[in-house]
A and B are shown apart, each in its own frame.
Chain A
Amino acid sequence: MSGENEETQAAEETSVDEKEVQDKVISPEKAEEAKLKARYPNLGNKPGGSDLLRKRLQKGQKYFDSGDYNMAKAKIKNKQLPTAAPEKAEITGDHIPTPQDLPQRKPSLVASKLAG
Chain B
Amino acid sequence: MAGPGGDMQWCFSQVKGAIDDDVAEADIISTVEFNHTGKLLATGDKGGRVVIFQQEIENKNQPQFRSEYNVYSTFQSHEPEFDYLKSLEIEEKINKIRWLPQKNAAQFLLSTNDKTIKLWKISERDKRPEGYNLKEEDGCYKDPNTITSLRVPVLIPMDLMVEASPRRVFANAHTYHINSISVNSDNETYLSADDLRINLWHLEITDRSFNIVDIKPANMEELTEVITAAEFHPHQCNTFVYSSSKGTIRLCDMRASALCDKHSKLFEEPEDPSNRSFFSEIISSISDVKFSHNGRYMMTRDYLSVKIWDLNMENRPVETYQVHEYLRSKLCSLYENDCIFDKFECCWNGNDSVVMTGSYNNFFRMFDRGQRRDVTLEASRENSKPMQVLKPRKVCAGGKRKKDEISVDSLDFNKKILHTAWHPQDNIIAVATTNNLYIFQDKVN
Chain A interface (Cβ < 8 Å from any Cβ of B): 1-2, 4-5, 27-33, 35-37, 39, 43, 45, 47-50, 53-54, 56-66, 68-70, 73, 107, 109-116
Flag whether B397 is at the interface (Cβ < 8 A).
yes
Flag whether B18 is at the interface (Cβ < 8 A).
yes
- Shortest CB–CB separation between residue B405 and chain A, in angstroms? 14
Whether B278 pairs with A45 at a CB distance below 8 angstroms is yes
Whether B220 pairs with A47 at a CB distance below 8 angstroms is no
Whether B17 pairs with A113 at a CB distance below 8 angstroms is yes
Nearest residue, chain B, Cβ from A4: B325
Whether A36 pairs with B335 at a CB distance below 8 angstroms is yes
What residues on A are CB-neighbors of B393 within 8 Å? none
Interface range for B: 35 or more
What residues on B are CB-neighbors of A1 within 8 Å? 321-322, 325, 374
Whether B87 pairs with A66 at a CB distance below 8 angstroms is yes
What residues on A are CB-neighbors of B195 within 8 Å? 56-57
With beta carbons under 8 angstroms apart, the residue of A59, A110, A111, A114 that contacts B17 is A114
Q: Given the interface contacts A32-B277, A56-B195, does A64 sit within 8 Å of B223 by beta carbon?
A: no
- Shortest CB–CB separation between residue B376 and chain A, in angstroms? 10
Whether B114 pairs with A60 at a CB distance below 8 angstroms is yes
What residues on A are CB-neighbors of B220 within 8 Å? 50, 54
Task: With A5-B325, A109-B76 given, name 8 new contacts (CB 8 A).
Answer: A36-B335, A56-B226, A66-B84, A68-B87, A69-B89, A112-B26, A112-B74, A114-B29
Q: What are 5 inter-chain pairs, A to B, with CB distance below 8 A?
A: A57-B177, A112-B45, A112-B47, A114-B45, A114-B74
Whether A63 pairs with B88 at a CB distance below 8 angstroms is yes
CB proximity to A under 8 Å, residues B263-278: 275, 277-278
Query: At the interface with chain A, which of B140-148, B180-188, B198-206, B326-334?
Result: B326-334
Whether A49 pairs with B224 at a CB distance below 8 angstroms is yes
Chain B interface (Cβ < 8 Å from any Cβ of A): 16-18, 26-27, 29, 43, 45, 47, 49, 51, 71, 74, 76, 79-80, 82, 84, 86-91, 114, 176-177, 195-196, 220-226, 245-246, 275, 277-282, 285, 321-322, 325-326, 328-332, 335-336, 374, 397, 435, 437
- What's the Cα separation between A50 and B216 when bound, in Å? 12
- What's the Cα separation between A28 and B278 when bound, in Å? 12
Whether A29 pairs with B71 at a CB distance below 8 angstroms is no
With beta carbons under 8 angstroms apart, the residue of A29, A49, A57, A58 that contacts B277 is A29
Whether A48 pairs with B87 at a CB distance below 8 angstroms is no
Whether A60 pairs with B89 at a CB distance below 8 angstroms is yes
Q: Which of A31, A64, A70 has the most CB of B within 10 A?
A: A31
